[in-house]
Structures are given as C-alpha cells and as structure tokens.
Amino acid sequence: MASHIVGYPRMGPKRELKFALESFWDGKSSAEDLKKVAADLRASIWKQMSDAGIKYIPCNTFSYYDQVLDATSMLGAVPPRYGWNGGEIGFDTYFSMARGNASVPAMEMTKWFDTNYHFIVPELGPDVKFSYASHKAVDEFKEAKALGVNTVPVLIGPVSYLLLSKPAKGVEKSFSLLSLLPKILPIYKEVVADLKAAGASWIQFDEPTLVSDLEAHQLQAFTEAYSELESSVSGLNVLVETYFADVPAEAYKTLTALKGITAFGFDFIRGTKTLDLIKSGFPSNKHLFAGVVDGRNIWANDLAASLSTLQNLEGIVGKDNLVVSTSCSLLHTAVDLVNETKLDAEIKSWLAFAAQKIFEVNALAKALSGQKDEDFFSANGQALASRKSSPRVTNEAVQKAAAALKGSDHRRGTNVSARLDAQQKKLNLPILPTTTIGSFPQTVELRRVRREYKANKISEEEYVKEIKEEIRKVVELQEELDIDVLVHGEPERNDMVEYFGEQLSGFAFTVNGWVQSYGSRCVKPPIIYGDVSRPKPMTVFWSSAAQSMTKRPMKGMLTGPVTILNWSFVRNDQPRSETCYQIALAIKVEVEDLEKAGINVIQIDEAALREGLPLRKSEQGNYLKWAVHSFRITNVGVQDTTQIHTHMCYSNFNDIIHSIIDMDADVITIENSRSDEKLLSVFREGVKYGAGIGPGVYDIHSPRIPPTEEIADRINKMLAVLEKNILWVNPDCGLKTRKYNEVKAALTNMVQATKQIRNQLASAK
C-alpha cells in the first residue's frame, strides 16, 4: 500500500530559513548563502520522507515566500510597477512583489483559505503578457533526483490560480479572470514538458478551490483546462489534490470526470461528507489519495479509526488504487516533536507534529497491506485513552459557566452612538484621532531581555525595570509624534496569542513548535488541551504602568477569544464554539479588571475572525453567530464611558461586514491599504457604519515609507464614504516587524497628513 504527503513545512526545525531570509534582506548574507540554506533544508526533508518509506514525496512545495507567488513567477505575471523586463525572475523582483521596495508597494496579501497562512494575491488583467519565467519546479525536481529521491512535482492548478487572483488596478472589477485560462495553459504545458523530459512520472496539481461554492461556469473551467492539458500530460500520472473541506457534489462530478487524470486527493479530516460521494460512485481504475492524517492540527491520529476508514475505501476503489495521505500540506503544523524537550510528558504523548505524521501515514499504509506494527498501534491507543481520561482536561466550573452563556446574546445596554458621545466627553479626542494597532518594533535587545528572563539569567526585578524602560521609550516617542491614543508597544510579548495562552489554564506550549504565517514570519501556536480559565490578571500591571507615564489615553491590549482560538492548535474532543466561549469568559474578567485599573480604552483584537469562516456558505452563519457572540461576551459588562476597540487584518471583510457591525465594538481598526482600499467599496455601496472606524492608511509589512501626500489622499478617500466624526487614522496592523527608523518616519507622515486634513476640514466650515 502506497503513502503520500501533500506538502511539508519549509522553515526548518529551528527556523533556519527564516533567519537566512532575514539575513539576506538585511544585506548581511548573499543570495548564494540563502540558496545554500534552502537546498540543505530541501535535501533533509526529502531524505526524511524517503527514509520513512513514503512513496509519493512532494517537491516544489518549498518556497522562499509562498507557493502562489511562485506560480505568479512561473507564469511571468509580474505587475508593471516592479520594472521586470523578462528573463528568469530573480530575488529582487520576487521579493519586491512580496514585500515592496523603497519606491513601490507590495502586492496584496491575504489568508490562504481558512488558515493563518498568507499568500500574495496575483494581479491580472487582459494585457498581462504571460511567459515561462521561473523554472523552480523543474530545478527542484532535478535537485531531488540528483540526490537519489524520486519526487512528485506540485503545482498550483491553473483554475485555482485564476480563482485566487484579482483584477489589477485599473482593470474593471467585472473582468473575468477565467478568460485568461487560454493564456496561462501554454506555460503549464511547457512546465509539464520540462518535467517529463527531466524524468517525472507523477505530477500533482493542487486545486483547493474545488471545495468552495463554485458556479457552473467556474466548474466548466476545470473541464476545459484539463481537456486542454490532456495531450501534454499523456504518459504522466496526474494527481488533482483538494483539501480543507468537503468537495460539493457538483464539483465531485466535475473533478472525477476530468480527462487525463490518474488520481484524486481528498481531505477526510475536514471533509467527512466526501466519503458518501465516493460510496455513491468512484471512477474505475483511478487512484484515491485518502487524506486521513490531519495536516492542520497536532493531535496524534486515531490510527484504529483511520484504518477502519481506509478499509471502507479499499472496498470501494480497490486495494491497488488506494493511497494513504495527509489531509493537506503539513505546512500548517509544527515540524518535529523530537525538539520539544520541555513539554509535559503526558501531553507530549498525545501529539504528532509533521515528522510524526509521516510515520503515521506510513504505519497506516503498512497496516492496510497486512504489515501492521502492533506496538505502534498499541502505543497510539494508550495515548488516546490517556488523553480521554486525564483529569487535567476537564474543569467542571468552567463548563458550567460556559453552558450558562447560551441564555443571552450579551449586548451592552446602550447603543453605540450614545456610548461614543459619553466616551468623547471623557476622552476629549480631536477630529480624526490617530492611534497605532498595538505592537512596536521588537529589537534584538528586547528579545535578549525576554530570553534571559525566561532562562532565569536575570531577576524579575531586572526584567520589569527593562520592560518599563522600553514602554517609557515607546510612550515618549508617541507623545513626540503627537499621536492621540497611545499603546505601550507590547515589549513583554513575543507573540500576541502565545502571551495570553501562557497565562490561561488549559494551554500548553512548545519551544520549537513554529509554523509559517507568511514570508519569514513564524508563529508558535499554543496548544489548547483542556478547559480554559484565567487564574490571575494578565495585562493589568503593564497597562497601568504605561498609563501612569502619560496623560493621554493608553489602550489596554488584549487578544480576542476567536483569534486565540483560530491561532492555536485547538482540542478536537469538543466543538470549537465551546472552547471559544470558555476563552471569552476568561478575557471578560481581564477586561473588567483593566477598567477597574483606570484604563478607559481597551482593544480586543479579533484579527482572525474572518479567517475561521467556513469555506462553504451553508456553514458560515452558525460560525459567525457564535464567533460574534464570543466577542460581545468579553465586554458586555463595561461602562458606557469605556471605549472598546477591535482590530482585524489581511482578509476579505466585505462579505461579513454585517457581522462586524453586529460585534458592537465602539471602534474598529482594519487593514485597508495593502488590499487597494477594497474595504471602502462596501461603504460606497451603501452600508451604514455608525461606530468608530480606522481603515489602515499604510502597509506595515513593507519597509517602504509612505509619503504624507499618499496618506492624505487615503484619508480623503475615506472621508468620501465615512463621516468625519467616526473616522480614525492608523496603520494597517501592528509595528513589531518594522525597524524604529521606519516606524518613526511613517508615523510622522501619518500624523502630518492627519493634521493637514484637519486643517482643511476646519477651513471648510
């Protein structure tokens, strides 16, 4: 029985690629140095899978930034502003598209389906001249072959690539991106021909958009694309891979009828209903790649249950046609549990990271072919039983409190307009108040202080002194810049979710459980293994200290329950909504303690609210109901004069704007500039928003400093669709990834632009 891995983490077990990228971007190392680190990581990954007995090993899933940007490079779809003049795309053009440069902004970045991974959105139009401009897929196949490893090259499928794209600036929004299919398929044919010539016997096309609610003409595009590719892929085995949800019935019919396709891959973790479709009919003599090992969570597989599922599938498709696989790429999970030397032994026994999942896949494949490893299966069963019966998982008081929430929708007693009036009397803010989102640059020195404190190399007294000094610098800088509502910069936090998880019960933490979010940005998701509560205050000390340093309003900074949920590895033994309600109750107590401490502005970030939205429309209403309810729970008990902010970033919010309004926050700051001010279109279309709102005026993920005039122009565009008395001015997101010289220059221009517009508004009276 054969085994397959959809994709694998790229950063390395100790984030080797992250550090190599940042060293290259800072000019401290060469392109050759970066390529050497990347080649070593690829070789290690391929060897690991080969040694574990995996038959179908992926290649071209490695990326210096993201796989969609790699496809854009392969197709030569470089926006004109980057000045690319043809030829093989190099690092300068590639990273300019991803990060921007001193003269032009980056391309839009958004979430990869319902994950915390991001991709660079292709900008396309009728005038794009596509060309075969990156040979990365072929080069990496040859690289693996030279190492003695036969791999399966992976490409983003042509239809999904177009469906994930957007019309470029200046192109009509109604432009049909699928009309470009005849223009990109010749490049795909060239790539396939090169892979054939290099000796590839299999090729994998990832078509994840097949799990979405697609219209008839979109499904027809798949039929047309693969009919056109049929002669080119002749002689190759072709796998079309789907993941993240069930494949709808009509999409299943389209997919399984595609010409020239050898195999179909399905996610049986998040797509359990697909099994019913397969039972009702699967094409004869085709292979089924069964994703039964979870690529998005870190819990050990229930091997007995997975084996039973596989045996059922075997009875339908035949023994020789079934391949055991992961549900999706392992990119979304941590790399290797072996590196977790400090993790509690009992909890560790419940887990499987990417390296362990490879062995789970192979163990299931062997068991299906009659070579079951009884010891491996027995240890797995014992670990599952231990988790189920462990007293550390359950807290009866928390469960009762969460159950009691269902009798109310938890709304504040006064409407937002009246609350804003009461808050203005207390805060006395100018028109177009300025603020930032929360974090300030995380310097090398600051990271050293936190690292030494965790290692007990400095005392708590020394640590507090150092962090307070950093807060003082951030406060003084904001006052110097004349920002109206301040933040303390979050110097005590390495990561917004990890920080709160460390102080909540029911969470466990890793040392090296890093997961790529975008580019070199990695996060270390906490593990929610049990019921959640807040044993003691988490942020009150630091927020109070910061407020004592200024007379201006200081925001208390919290992460909201939905974001903590969506940015964690969540327990899979109860509904996600139940866990979210528990977190909401914990945050609620913290909010009320901040208010008692004299913090009059409290930001509860829900950056990941949109991210958790199910991919199928039929499931979205229920998610939004409990997610929005969870947010309202956190602040239902505060006074009218306490201003509640929230923040969201890097997703498409237009389709959930009414749910955002239903959150009933006093002020929302939201990413806007990097996505070409897409957010403003909902207000142009007549959506009325009565609360405070701060659409971001510049992109913080680029080192580029936006000119004052550009920011002023953005503010004017906002004023064309939003009332001046509700508009706030702020960056797109937090500033932790930037350098202080960049932050100071950008915020100076932001404040200057705001003052210019204030003067214009005053003159117009």
Give the pLDDT score at 703: 85
Residue 25 confidence class, pLDDT cut points 50, 70, 90: very high
- Classified as helix, coil or strand, 483 is coil
Which residues, 6 or more positions from 231, have their beta carbon under 8 angstroms from its beta carbon? 260
- Confirm whether 88 is domain-assigned: yes
DSSP string, 61-83: ---SS-HHHHHHHHTT---GGG-
| Structure tokens that stand for 664 in this block | 């009933």
Torsion of CA 678, 679, 683, 687, to 10 degrees: 120
d(CA 497, CA 489): 15
671 is in an annotated binding site: yes
Give the pLDDT score at 453: 92
490 is in an annotated binding site: yes
For residue 352, pLDDT over 90 is answered with yes
Residue 589 near residue 89 (C-beta atoms within 8 A): no
Residue 350 near residue 386 (C-beta atoms within 8 A): yes
- Confirm whether 682 is domain-assigned: no
Domain containing 11 equals 2-389
CB atoms within 10 A of CB 480: 11
- Confirm whether 679 is domain-assigned: no
Which residues, 6 or more positions from 461, have their beta carbon under 8 angstroms from its beta carbon? none
Residue 711 near residue 753 (C-beta atoms within 8 A): yes
- String of b and e for 550-579 (b: at least 16 CB within 10 Å)? eebbbbbbbbbbbbbbbbbbbbeeeebbbb
- Classified as helix, coil or strand, 16 is helix
- Classified as helix, coil or strand, 184 is helix
521 is in an annotated binding site: yes
- Confirm whether 543 is domain-assigned: no
pLDDT digits (tens, 9 = 90+) for 200-212: 999 999 999 999 9
595 is in an annotated binding site: no
User: For residue 266, what is the enclosing H or E element?
Assistant: strand 263-267
Higher pLDDT, 650 or 686: 686
What is the DSSP code (8-state) at residue 435?
B
Percentage of the chain beyond pLDDT 90 is 88
Residue 11 near residue 514 (C-beta atoms within 8 A): yes
d(CA 495, CA 482): 27
Average pLDDT of span 553-564: 97
For residue 657, pLDDT over 90 is answered with no
514 is in an annotated binding site: no
What is the DSSP code (8-state) at residue 168?
P
Closest CA to 541 of 470, 462, 598, 606: 598
Return the CATH number at 158.
3.20.20.210
- Confirm whether 274 is domain-assigned: yes
Give the pLDDT score at 651: 60
Residue spans of alpha helices (H) in 491-615: 496-501, 540-547, 561-566, 576-596
Closest CA to 696 of 715, 719, 722: 715
Higher pLDDT, 252 or 105: 252
437 is in an annotated binding site: yes
- Classified as helix, coil or strand, 408 is coil
Residue 9 near residue 330 (C-beta atoms within 8 A): yes
658 is in an annotated binding site: yes
pLDDT digits (tens, 9 = 90+) for 409-466: 899 999 999 999 999 999 999 999 999 999 999 989 999 999 999 899 999 999 999 9
d(CA 326, CA 5): 6
- Confirm whether 214 is domain-assigned: yes
- Confirm whether 76 is domain-assigned: yes
439 is in an annotated binding site: yes
116 is in an annotated binding site: yes
Whose tokens are 């988490």? That residue is: 538
Give the pLDDT score at 686: 72
CB atoms within 10 A of CB 642: 23
- The number of folded domains in the chain is 1
Residue 654 confidence class, pLDDT cut points 50, 70, 90: confident
| Structure tokens that stand for 230 in this block | 């049929």
Residue 52 near residue 358 (C-beta atoms within 8 A): yes
Long-range contacts made by residues 88-97, C-beta under 8 angstroms, separation at least 24? 88/133, 88/134, 88/135, 89/133, 89/134, 91/24, 91/31, 91/34, 91/64, 94/64, 94/65, 94/69, 95/25, 95/64, 95/65, 97/69, 97/72
d(CA 278, CA 276): 5
Give the pLDDT score at 685: 75
For residue 650, pLDDT over 70 is answered with no
Long-range contacts made by residues 71-74, C-beta under 8 angstroms, separation at least 24? 71/122, 71/155, 71/156, 71/161, 72/97, 72/120, 72/122, 73/133, 73/134, 73/136, 74/132, 74/133, 74/134, 74/136, 74/137, 74/155, 74/187, 74/191
pLDDT digits (tens, 9 = 90+) for 589-627: 999 999 999 999 999 999 899 889 999 999 999 999 999
Give the pLDDT score at 676: 63
Residue 611 near residue 114 (C-beta atoms within 8 A): yes
Residue 132 near residue 191 (C-beta atoms within 8 A): yes
- Classified as helix, coil or strand, 592 is helix
Known catalytic residues are 701
| Structure tokens that stand for 323 in this block | 């391949």
Give the pLDDT score at 678: 66
pLDDT digits (tens, 9 = 90+) for 48-66: 999 999 999 999 999 999 9
Closest CA to 17 of 518, 657, 533, 698: 518
pTM: 0.92
Average pLDDT of span 380-396: 96
Strands 601-605 and 555-559: parallel
Radius of gyration of the chain (CA): 26
Whose tokens are 């010409």? That residue is: 259
DSSP string, 307-350: HHHHHHHHHHH-GGGEEEEESS-GGGS-S-GGG-SSS-HHHHHT
d(CA 686, CA 694): 18
For residue 751, pLDDT over 90 is answered with yes
d(CA 633, CA 664): 11
Average pLDDT of span 232-258: 97
Long-range contacts made by residues 420-423, C-beta under 8 angstroms, separation at least 24? 420/666, 420/691, 420/692, 420/726, 422/640, 422/641, 423/600, 423/640, 423/641, 423/642, 423/643, 423/666
Closest CA to 705 of 679, 667, 743: 743
Strands 505-508 and 527-533: antiparallel
- Confirm whether 345 is domain-assigned: yes
- Say which amino acid occupies 661: I
pLDDT digits (tens, 9 = 90+) for 662-704: 999 999 998 887 666 666 777 777 778 889 999 999 988 888 8
580 is in an annotated binding site: no
Closest CA to 494 of 753, 737, 244, 176: 737
d(CA 289, CA 304): 18
Q: How many residues would you count in the chain? A: 765
Closest CA to 552 of 472, 484, 474: 484
pLDDT digits (tens, 9 = 90+) for 464-512: 999 999 999 999 999 999 999 999 999 998 877 888 988 999 999 999 9
Closest CA to 218 of 287, 174, 256, 163: 163
Q: Share the mean pLDDT of the chain.
A: 94
CB atoms within 10 A of CB 37: 18
Residue 228 confidence class, pLDDT cut points 50, 70, 90: very high
pLDDT digits (tens, 9 = 90+) for 708-750: 999 999 999 999 888 999 999 999 989 998 999 999 999 999 9
